[in-house]
Amino acid sequence: MRLIRATNDFKLHGHSYEDFPLIVNSDMELETEVHQFLIYFCITRGRVESKNTWWRYGQDLYDYFGYLEGNGLDWRSKMADTQHSVIAAYRDWSVSLGLSSKTINGRLRTIIQFYEFAQRKHWIESVPYDIETVIINKGKGFLAHTDRSGNQKNAVNVMLKEKVAALQVLTKQEVKILMAHPCFISQHLIYRLALQTGMRKEELLTFPESYIQDPRTKRGKAIVPVVLSSKDMEVKSGQGGTKGNKERTIHIPISLYERLWQYKLHERNELLLKNEVSEQKTLLLNRFAKPYSIKGTILNTELKKIVGRKEISLHKLRHTYATFKLYGLRHNPNYRGDPLVYVQDRLGHSSILTTQVYLHYLEDLEGDLMTEYDQDIDQICLGSEGVA
């Protein structure tokens, strides 16, 4: 069994879907039922726009059907035949590999969606799992007063119980260490942009140079609104751009915007000249005047070394921005809006429930947490900026 990316020759009703996941058996024939499900789930529904998400769903099902093939199991097996679900067997095998419960449950959700689709198509009479009612502890979070479901919910019985992992964010001292560390200027600005805007890794590494213009036209403003759009970014094979290709507005503090303008005029131009490169669409370039790899491996490796924590990554800088910004707005008597909605909009979360997770960690933050986050980072960077 193999998982391959479709070329632009793969078309549905005349429209090309390059990079669509295709799962084929040992005879290089499409797994028909899986293929039909992926078309429905990724394309027909119109809710999944990211090719990365397409590929993740394809990987989930490839892993499951590869396990079944390797063990001579039929995905249509009924619980009534053995009193043990074929999905549960796959789950237990995944646990034996040392995968986290979060990773396994993510795969199981895709597999369960496949089985529900198969049942609607009458490919199977019943699904290989049961639905149980479980008691949950919802706590007293935001919007709790609007929930009328009580402390019960229906759950698929093959799912694992997940441990809520602590949200990894940088402390105030770690932010100081990172911003004061003498590293390559492009790398320094990527870290700073992540900390002060909350952009995703893919957005940082495909951020267009055209978005940064002469800041003299922005004078008198504390922040500069910038609309992120995938159509402006260097997107290759579904890598880069905004999540789901959805536009959103980020706020860049004016001091950072001015520094990016200076970088564009000077350090970036020097890189282009030195490497005899005419132009690049992306703003932040590596030493060879090329965009950084979208995987961000080098940036993440260096980040771990600077901060001294192996679990820290570019994505954790996004968490840091969200947590500190939420804290600052909640403690700012002059802010009249809803801090949670502000952070939701900046991060591009489709549901405020996703943003709500940051509320649970505010109580654990250090007592001297900065309340004026952007001003603190600006001050740290004065005179101690990364160098080429």
Answer yes or no: are the C-beta atoms of 234 and 210 closer than 8 Å.
no
Inter-helix orientation angle 314-330/297-307, to 10°:
60
| pLDDT at site 140 | 47
Residues 26 and 117 in one domain: yes
Establish if 120 belongs to a structural domain: yes
Residues 195 and 54 in one domain: no
Answer yes or no: are the C-beta atoms of 386 and 182 closer than 8 Å.
yes
Establish if 116 belongs to a structural domain: yes
Establish if 23 belongs to a structural domain: yes
| pLDDT at site 352 | 87
Residue 32 domain boundaries: 2-130
Establish if 139 belongs to a structural domain: no
CA distance 149 to 64: 33
Note if the pTM is more than 0.95.
Answer: no
| pLDDT at site 374 | 72
Residues 107 and 218 in one domain: no
Answer yes or no: are the C-beta atoms of 260 and 206 closer than 8 Å.
no
Establish if 136 belongs to a structural domain: no
CA distance 11 to 355: 37
Residues 187 and 332 in one domain: yes
Establish if 138 belongs to a structural domain: no
Residues 113 and 206 in one domain: no
Residues 119 and 176 in one domain: no
| pLDDT at site 106 | 94
| pLDDT at site 218 | 87
| pLDDT at site 79 | 58
Which residue is associated with the tokens 């132009």? Answer: 279
Number of domains the chain is built from: 2
| pLDDT at site 157 | 86
What is the end-to-end Cα distance of the chain in Å, rounded? 47
What does the angle CA 301 – CA 302 – CA 305 come to, to the nearest 5 degrees? 95
**Of 74, 97, 130, which one is at a domain's C-terminal end?**
130
Output the domain CATH number for residue 335. Answer: 1.10.443.10
**What single DSSP character describes residue 202?**
H
Residues 110 and 23 in one domain: yes
Establish if 153 belongs to a structural domain: no
What residues contact 83, with CB distance under 8 A and at least 6 apart?
none
β-pairing, 152-156 vs 131-135, is antiparallel
Q: Please give the average pLDDT of every successive group of 10 residues along the chain, which has 388 residues.
A: 94 93 91 96 86 92 94 81 81 94 94 96 90 56 52 77 77 92 96 96 95 91 92 67 80 96 97 95 96 94 95 94 90 89 91 82 55 70 64
Output the domain CATH number for residue 105. Answer: 1.10.150.130
Residues 119 and 211 in one domain: no
